Amino acid sequence: MTDTPHADVKKLSFERAIEELETIVKRLEDGKVPLEESVAIYERGESLKRRCEELLRQAEARVDKITTDASGQAAGTEPLDVQ
């Protein structure tokens, strides 16, 4: 891991955020984390989840939709309408 466990969530890449989120889920599922720490890592997990969702929305907004002409041939691309 190149980032520290307490790295700023807003600066994490999607891959790093999802990796840390998976680690948190595994720790919580094991049930061996003290209650106070469980609450703290759950809160961090929520932040990581929001970061992943934000990055996915940004990626979707950059994806192009292929347009076709009347004969079904690719005629170009246009921005994907993400709402």
Closest CA to 61 of 74, 78, 46, 75: 78
Has residue 78 been placed in a domain? no
Which tens digits make up the pLDDT trace of 8-32?
999 999 999 999 999 999 999 999 9
Has residue 76 been placed in a domain? no
Has residue 1 been placed in a domain? no
Domain count, the chain: 1
CATH number of the structural domain spanning residue 33? 1.10.287
DSSP 3-state percent helix, strand, coil across the chain (nearest 5): 60, 15, 30
Cα(15)–Cα(25) distance, rounded to whole angstroms?
A: 15
The values of phi and psi at residue 52, to 5°, are: -60, -45
Has residue 24 been placed in a domain? yes
Query: Does residue 3 carry a pLDDT above 90?
Result: no
Cα(14)–Cα(59) distance, rounded to whole angstroms?
A: 10
Model confidence, pTM? 0.70
Has residue 20 been placed in a domain? yes
Q: What is the mean pLDDT of residues 51-79?
A: 79
